[in-house]
Amino acid sequence: MKIKNIVILIVILIILIAGILLIRANSTGNIIKDYYTYTKAICDENNFCQDYIIICENKELIEMKPITGATIQHSENWQDPRENKSEILCD
């Protein structure tokens, strides 16, 4: 009877240890430290502006999707009033 109990205890411990290791391995590989999205209007040299969804992860551009219908054509003499017009999208 003692051997049967010891075997059952060993099997339970192996299952617990394997479960803990499996959970730990899955959780450490899926952590994203710095993931964010925002929208930004980007204008070209002809003052045609298009809104985009900007997706960043760890300060790198992951994706840039145009927003359908979010465009505007400004006049030839229009000046962009925004102070921060830099091309760095994910900083």
Q: What is the DSSP letter of 83?
A: S
46 lies in the same domain as 18 = no
Domain count, the chain: 2
39 lies in the same domain as 69 = yes
47 lies in the same domain as 22 = no
pLDDT confidence tier of residue 45, bands split at 50, 70 and 90: confident
6/9 Cα distance (integer angstroms): 5
Q: Is residue 57 part of a domain?
A: yes
15 lies in the same domain as 45 = no
20 lies in the same domain as 39 = no
37 touches 51 (CB < 8 A): no
Q: Is residue 1 part of a domain?
A: yes
Structural domain span for residue 9: 1-27
10/46 Cα distance (integer angstroms): 73
Check whether 44 has a pLDDT greater than 80. yes
18 lies in the same domain as 39 = no
Check whether 16 has a pLDDT greater than 60. yes
Mean pLDDT of the region 2-12: 82
28/77 Cα distance (integer angstroms): 53
40 lies in the same domain as 69 = yes
Summarised one tens digit per residue, pLDDT across range 69-88 is: 888 898 989 888 887 666 78
53 touches 36 (CB < 8 A): no
Of the two residues 41 and 82, the one the predictor is more confident about is: 41
